[in-house]
Amino acid sequence: MRALGQEVGDCVDCYQCVAVCPTGIDIRDGAQLDCIQCGLCIDACDTVMTKIGRPTRLIAYDNDINIQRRIAGKAPIYRIVRRAPSFMSP
């Protein structure tokens, strides 16, 4: 998507993610310490994007490793069960 001749993302600046956030942060600035992981911004964003026929999941739960993997063009890794740290193994 392009705007004013510049390459931009799919966000349409509707500000619904900011409006619904109980802690008042702008998640478009990235992961932040004040986030309580309530997911209201995800639902608000997906609702707007669905209504206007644009891609959903602009905001999602993720971890730093998978964010870096996506940037590198690699598939994310999901582990259903966490491994115990090595110092806990007999």
Q: Is 61 helix (H, G, I), strand (E, B) or coil?
A: coil
Size of residue set near ligand SF4 by CB under 6 A: 13
Q: Residue length, the chain?
A: 90
Task: Report if residue 33 touches ligand SF4, rule: CB under 6 A.
Answer: no
Task: Report if residue 39 touches ligand SF4, rule: CB under 6 A.
Answer: yes
Task: Report if residue 23 touches ligand SF4, rule: CB under 6 A.
Answer: yes
Task: Report if residue 35 touches ligand SF4, rule: CB under 6 A.
Answer: yes
Write out the H or E segment, with its range, that includes residue 2: strand 2-3
**Residue (7 or 29) nearer to ligand SF4, CB:** 29
Q: Residue 59 and residue 44: Cα distance in Å, rounded?
A: 10
Return contacts of 23-28, CB within 8 angstroms, 24+ apart.
27/59
Task: Report if residue 31 touches ligand SF4, rule: CB under 6 A.
Answer: no
Residues that bind ligand SF4 (CB under 6 A): 20-23, 25, 27, 35-41
